[in-house]
Structures are given as structure tokens and as C-alpha cells.
Structure 1
Amino acid sequence: MRRIHASDLRPFVAELVSGLDASEDVAETVAESLVEADLRGHGSHGSIRMGTSYLEMIETGEIHPRATPELEPLSGVTAQVDGNGQYGQVVGRRAVEAGIELTEDRDVAMVGVRDASHLGRIGEWAERAAEAGRCFAAFVNTGGTDPLVTPPGSADRLFSTNPLAFGVPSFGALPHPIVLDMATSQVAHGKVTKRAVENRPLPEGWVVDEAGEIVTDSDEYEEAGRGALMPLGGLTSGHKGFGLAMIAELFAGIVGDHPVTGQGGGEWVNNGAMFVFADPDGFSNEAANRERVEALAGMIRDAEGPDAVPMGPSAKGDRARIPGEPEHETREKRLAEGIPFHEETLELLADVAREVDAEAAIPDSFGV
């Protein structure tokens, strides 16, 4: 494990994106988003993507690095963004900017997104909206491409991980916005891919095969196609995750004017989404909202945490945390100490650099 400072990583990732025929502005935007994911502890949606998916998506035409996302206003409070296959980090930023603009003079707005390739870490869009003072909700699908998740009682890969994200400003009560970013499957697919790159097994309960066996070999899932990700809730209450996935499919498809699973198909992800924005000032006032956040945060922090009551194998830490708090703290720590990377990930990124004639940009700290 090596630690790479963001100041070294960001220009390197930008060189990779530039080497794949993107403009300087696009390269800097994509690099910023990917490194922010690394900083916040979500490496599955960070720089590793340049080696696990984006390189091949460029080569096969699923990402169009020279495309321009198009904004189409529909009414005073609605709009759609057609990403035209540009990097999702560019498309998502344009959609959030549009929603913030629409709520400057109105209390609510909705923006549909289609043909966005991979929107990246959906929590980024919640963070950006909340930091601009808006409440935010996102429902995402992949237009039928890259199916990974099974409905309850099956092992067929029919759904995507259909992420949901929500953001709420903290109104000065916390040093970060309140952000929930989650898949409607047991886990985001990127976390499985990352484990495969790092030669690590999967926790029990993530993947099931047609024989009802739990799959823990990450390579068998990724390379051999064995099994499917279970919906959120797994074997106990997977019908709930499945229901949320259905809603995300339809919201994203309808508002984004984008296909749903069953209509399309393809190897690589192509996100559609529904982004919802609300200006809290139109419904309450900052002082009252700060009191609400303070009360909730205080209650959570004061809750008893007996050792006999476990958090569960997938939780981070041994106490409930305010959504967005772990990412904020992780970012502060990694800005100071560097971002930890497995050697396998650094080798993968170095290979991408060699392929796009950017070997000279590989930071010395990679040690490759």
C-alpha cells in the first residue's frame, strides 16, 4: 500500500484523460471528480476508473470525449441535459448547475439527464447542490446497459445498481453537508471491480449464483460472469432494494427521456437520471433548519453504543455516523497524509499512461 498525494495524482489523471482525446477543460473536470472520490474514501469511483472502464469505453465509443452536453429548458422549473456520451463527470456538473440556476428564482426544479455515459460518484452531485444551499435528490439508471443485479428469487443479471443520492445543507450546524449516496443493490459494482483488481475476496451476502451459492471470488464474478449482485437487503429483505431499483429505473427513464432496463442493452454503463432541487428558504428559514440539524446530530452522537450491538460487516466504524461525515473526515486526513492505493491499482494506472503516451507523467511516488 502506497500513499499518493492529491497534488500529484490530479495532474496525472488529467494527463490520462487528455491522452484519450479530451480537451484540457474536460480533462481537468474529470480528474477533479475522480480524485475527489479517492479523497473521500470512494476509490471504486476514483482514479481506478481510468483503467477498469473508461479506457475501454473510449476505445469502443461509449464515451465521446469531444462531445458537448446540451441543455434543453422545458419550463420555468424543468430541463433536460443530453450528455451526448461525454464523460459523466462533465454531464453531471452541467445538470447540477442547471438545477441551481433554475432554483435561483423558484423554490423547486427538476432536471432530467440522458446519455451521460458514467455519472461517476453520484454523491458528488448531492454535495455540489447542498453546498450551493439546495436540498437534492437523484435517481439513476443505466438505460438497460451493463446489467449486474438480480431481482429477489433469481440470479439473472437484469438491473443496474440504480444509485440514489440525497443532499441537505447543514445550515452552519456541521462542517459538511448531509449527503447519502447509496446503491439499491447490496453494494456498488465499482467496489466489486476494485476488489478484483486488488485480488481481494467479496464479503458473503453480496453475490449469489443460480445454484443459490454465495459467491466470494471477485474474479469469478467479474471475469467469469458467475452470479449476480443481490438487491439491497439480500436474502432477508431484498424485495425492498428491488422496489427502490424499479422506482429509480422509471424516474430516471421518464424524466431523463432515457431507456430503462428491458429496452436497451450493452456492455458499458450509460446513465440516465432524475435530479430534484429545492431551495430550503422557500419553505423554512436558516435558523430553524440549523436547529433541526443540530437536534438530529446531537441525538445520534448521544446514542448509546454497547459493544454487544454490532454495526454489521459492511459498516465503517463501530458507531452510527451522520451521512457525509465519514467522507468529510476521510478527505481531511487524506489531504494531509495522501491517498492509500494498492500496488495493483498503481500498476494498472501506469499501464494506462504507457498506452496513451503519458508515461512521463507517472508520479515518482507510484514506485512503478
Structure 2
Amino acid sequence: MKRIDAAELEEFVGALVAALGADKDVADEVSESLVEADLTGHGSHGSIRMGTTYLEMVGSGDIDPRATPEVTRLSPTAAQVDGNLQYGQVVGRRAVETGVDLATENGMATVGVRNATHLGRIGEWAERTTDEGLCFTALVNTGGAAPLVTPPGTAERLFSTNPIAFGVPPFGALDHPVVLDMATSQVAHGKVTKRSVENRPIPEDWVIDAEGNAVTDSTDYEEGIGAMLPLGGETAGYKGFGLSMMAELFAGVVGDGKVTGQPTEHSVNNGAMFCFVDPDVYSTPADNRARVEALAEMLRNADYPDAVSMGPTAKGDRATLPGAAEHETRRKRRAEGIPFYQETLDLLADTAREAGVESAIPHSFAD
């Protein structure tokens, strides 16, 4: 794997976004968000998107790089943001800015989001909110598009990965916010797409086919073979399915958009409910700091015997509060560069050539 400097990568991605029709402000926002996803260890929602999902969506009209999101204030504590099919990284920022303003003024706020194309890494919106000292919750659907996941008992692709996210400020107790961002399927679809680009298989408990057999070829899944299991897999997938249906409905109702099962002409079109809460209305910063410190200390002092596995996908050898892994990964990658498989760099370089900005390809991409 090669390591690419974050600033160099952001400049390249910005040039690519601009070449596909966006103005500089949009290109800057999109590239910053995509590289931030790479920095936090979530490359599935990072720069690779410009060579896969976003390239296709701009070409089909599912993303309009020249659109302007519209904000409608519905009450002192409620608003809706219609992204008008602009990049989700732009729409997400407008939704967070709106929610933070309303919650700062009134103690809490709910923002519905519609026509947001792909909102990217939902954890970014949690982090941006906690940076302002507020708590955050998000439930997201895909606007009736992108069926990828099966309910328990079948192998038909019926609904999407419908992520949920939460964010709590650290209140001075930690050097990072407490942020959970997760799909309600076994894994985010981008994780499979990324493995397909990299020619890597997927674990046996992610996807099944119509005969109930595991699908481990990531490219097979990308070509339509099999369906992703809901969170919990075959053992407890009904829990992930239930969470997904709640995300589907809350995002549809509050975003005033479509849900899976309703016809849509788009390939991906996120709707969402973003909630913002001022914790100072309900408690004191000192008491909230004590709460975060107690949880962190409990995890630090737990016994972690070698005989008990953290699991094959764990990062580290002990449990930490959500958000710690991303914080540490970001710190390392800013200093050492972001690791990429050569296949991903080749894909991005090919996309730049297709877009007419071959001169923007960093020399560090070369094989």
C-alpha cells in the first residue's frame, strides 16, 4: 500500500470535483469531507467515491453539482433542507449549520433533509455538531433508492443500509467527541465497493444468496449477486432490520421524502432526520464531564484477558468509547499519510483522465 499526503489528496479531489461541474466552493467542501473520511479510517466514504458512486451519479444527473440547497424554517425549533440533488457533503453542512443555529437559540432542534444525494460519512455531521458543544442524532434512508439489504428470512434486496449516528461532546474529559456512526446492515455498502475495487473478498457473514449460501466475492455482490444481511446477521438480524425500518420512516417523515417501496427515478437520494440538543439546558458541563470520565475510566480499568477475543475487525486490544479509533487514526494519517491500495489510486487517476484533469494526478499515485 502507498501513503498519500492528505493535503495533496484534497487538492487532487477538489480538482476532480470541479472538473465534473462544481464551482470552487462546492469542490472545496466535497474534497475536504471525502479526505476527512479517508483520514478517519473510513475510506469507503472517502476519495474512492469520486471514481465509483459519484462519477456515475453526476453522469446520470443524480447529483447536480450546480444546485443550491434550500433551507425552510418551519418553527423556532424545526427546519427542512432540500438539497436539490447537490453533493451530500454540501447539503449535510447546510443542515448542521441550520440545526446548530436553532438549537443554540432554543435548546434543541430537528432538521429534516431531503434530496441530499449521498450524505457521505454521517459521523462527520455528528463531529461538526459536537464541535459546537451540542449533542446529535441522525437517522438516514436513501429516498426509496438503492435496495441492497434483505429482511430476515429472504435473500431479496429490498431496502438500504440506512445508517444511524450519535454524537456527544467530550466536555473536556477526552480529546475527541463520543461519536457512533453505523449502518443498520452488517456493514456499509461502501465497504463492499471498496473491497471490490481492491480485489479483496468479503467475510462470510455479510452477504447471502437465494440458496442461503454466503457470498464472499465482493465483485459478485457489486454485480447483483446476493443481498446484504441486516445488522446481527442470521442470528439476530431482526434487530438490525427493526432499526433500519425506524430509520426509514423517521427520515422519510421528517425529511418529507420517499421510503423504500415507493418508486423513485434516482440511484441514491438520502433523506434524514438530524436532531440537535444543547446539553447545558438539561445538566451542567461539570456533571456531564463526570459522566464521560466515569465511562472512560470503567473501560480503561476493565480486565482484558488474552483468551477473550476482541473480534476480527476490532482496532486495538481493548474497548474504548466510540470515536476514539477515528481520532487516533486521523492523528496517525495526518503525520504518516493515508494508505491506499494501488487499485484505488489507479481508479482515481483513470477518473481524472476521463474528466480531463490528468495534470492534477499527484506523482505519488504512480505505480
Q: Give the residue type in structure 2 aligned to 1:272.
A: G
* Contact map agreement 1:146 1:266 (CA 8 A) in 2: no
Q: CA deviation at 1:321?
A: 1.8
Q: Give the residue type in structure 2 aligned to 1:169.
A: P
Q: Distance in 2 between matches of 1:187 and 1:268?
A: 19
**Tell me, what secondary structure is at the counterpart of 2:310?**
coil
* Contact map agreement 1:136 1:278 (CA 8 A) in 2: yes
What's the counterpart of residue 286 of structure 1?
A: 285
* Contact map agreement 2:112 2:255 (CA 8 A) in 1: yes
Give unmatched runs, 5+ long, in structure 2.
none
What's the counterpart of residue 336 of structure 1?
A: 335
* Contact map agreement 1:144 1:266 (CA 8 A) in 2: no
Q: Distance in 1 between matches of 2:217 and 2:81?
A: 39
After TM superposition, the structure 1 = structure 2 runs for residues 1-368 of structure 1, keeping only pairs within 5 Å, are 1-223=1-223, 225-266=224-265, 268-368=267-367
* Contact map agreement 1:143 1:264 (CA 8 A) in 2: no
Q: CA deviation at 1:316?
A: 2.2
Q: Give the residue type in structure 2 aligned to 1:123.
A: G
Q: CA deviation at 1:264?
A: 2.6
* Contact map agreement 1:184 1:241 (CA 8 A) in 2: yes
Q: Give the residue type in structure 2 aligned to 1:234.
A: G
Deviations 1:330-367 (A, max 9, x none): 00000000000000000000011101111111111111
* Contact map agreement 1:149 1:160 (CA 8 A) in 2: yes
**Tell me, what secondary structure is at the counterpart of 2:47?**
coil
Q: Give the residue type in structure 1 aligned to 2:131.
A: E
* Contact map agreement 1:232 1:238 (CA 8 A) in 2: yes
Q: CA deviation at 1:307?
A: 1.5
**Tell me, what secondary structure is at the counterpart of 1:167?**
strand
Q: CA deviation at 1:64?
A: 0.3
Q: CA deviation at 1:320?
A: 1.2
**Tell me, what secondary structure is at the counterpart of 2:180?**
strand
* Contact map agreement 2:62 2:266 (CA 8 A) in 1: no
Deviations 1:63-109 (A, max 9, x none): 00000000000000000000000000000000000000001221110
Q: CA deviation at 1:266?
A: 4.9
Q: Distance in 2 between matches of 1:156 and 1:52?
A: 24
Q: Give the residue type in structure 1 aligned to 2:219.
A: D
**Tell me, what secondary structure is at the counterpart of 2:253?**
helix
Q: CA deviation at 1:315?
A: 2.4
TM-score by length of 2: 0.99
Deviations 1:112-167 (A, max 9, x none): 00000000000000000011101000000001101100000110101110000000
Q: Distance in 2 between matches of 1:94 and 1:125?
A: 10
Deviations 1:204-238 (A, max 9, x none): 10001110001101011012x11100000001000
Q: Give the residue type in structure 2 aligned to 1:294.
A: E
Q: Distance in 2 between matches of 1:50 and 1:179?
A: 25
Q: Distance in 2 between matches of 1:337 and 1:347?
A: 21
Q: Distance in 2 between matches of 1:328 and 1:359?
A: 33
Q: Distance in 2 between matches of 1:315 and 1:304?
A: 17
Figure out how many residues of one structure are paired with residues of the other and give that number. 367
Q: Distance in 2 between matches of 1:217 and 1:34?
A: 26
Q: Distance in 2 between matches of 1:52 and 1:93?
A: 22
**Tell me, what secondary structure is at the counterpart of 1:274?**
strand
Q: CA deviation at 1:317?
A: 2.5
Q: Distance in 2 between matches of 1:267 and 1:302?
A: 49
* Contact map agreement 1:300 1:320 (CA 8 A) in 2: yes
* Contact map agreement 1:139 1:275 (CA 8 A) in 2: yes
**Tell me, what secondary structure is at the counterpart of 1:226?**
coil
Going from structure 1 to structure 2, the CA distance change for 1:63 and 1:294 (only over 3 Å counts) comes to same
Aligned identity (percent) is 69
Q: Distance in 2 between matches of 1:143 and 1:105?
A: 30
Computed over aligned residues only, the root mean square deviation of the Cα atoms, in angstroms, reads 0.8
Q: Distance in 2 between matches of 1:258 and 1:305?
A: 46
